[in-house]
Amino acid sequence: DRLKKPLALAMFDINAFSGINEIYGNDMGDIVLSQLAMLIKSSTRSHDVVCRTGGEEFSVVLASTTMDNARQFVARILEEVATTRFGTNKETLQITVSAGIAGAAAGDTKATAASLTSQAKKALQISKAKKGSAVTVYKKGTGPVSPSPETRELKAQIANLNQRVNQGLIEMIYGFAKIIEAKDAYTGQHVEDTQSLAERV
């Protein structure tokens, strides 16, 4: 059906989430997911729809929302995440979140739930490749020319290796911070804060 009002879809994904589960435990991972969900939900309106669409991925359907307003909404979420310590009273950590946005203008006859989801996911993947807190807005016609199947396969393998190496480094730093924290809480926290700042830079 023709949209009578603009619509936007925002996707959020926690960076290096597997490292949280491995270092802090699955219970801490569940707490972080729950707290992020509440943070996102508290920033939405009653007619917006918030749902968990993956292991560490959340989506928000923003009704009657232009792309500019959706970008502002996502920016507020990322800013709040950057200043929030997640976890329990005894143990907290800082996370970073990547985001992707897609939208449809009022009167768009081609937009479907599947197309918006695909576009937002592509934008999210670009944000995750940038590392740290990043947001990407999907724009039609700005993608690269489709590479050959062999090139796509090679790029996928390289990207997978890079992700595994980067994930390993992040997890190693987290582990190192926890070891130091066991002996000296102040120094351990300092290492975590330094790691977080370095990752954002």
| 170/132 Cα distance (integer angstroms) | 12
Alpha-carbon separation of residue 69 from 37, 64, 128 (angstroms): 20, 10, 22
- Cα–Cα distance between 28 and 26 in angstroms, integer? 5
The number of beta carbons lying within 10 Å of the beta carbon of residue 33 is 19
57 given a catalytic annotation: no
CA angle 150, 131, 9 (to 5 degrees): 85
* DSSP three-state, residue 145: coil
Dihedral (C-alpha) 109, 75, 199, 38: value to the nearest 10 degrees?
-90
Name the catalytic one among 56, 79, 153, 181: 56
Helix or strand run (H / E) with residue 83? none
Cβ neighbours for 76, distance < 8 A, ≥ 6 positions apart: 43
The residues annotated as belonging to the active site are: 56
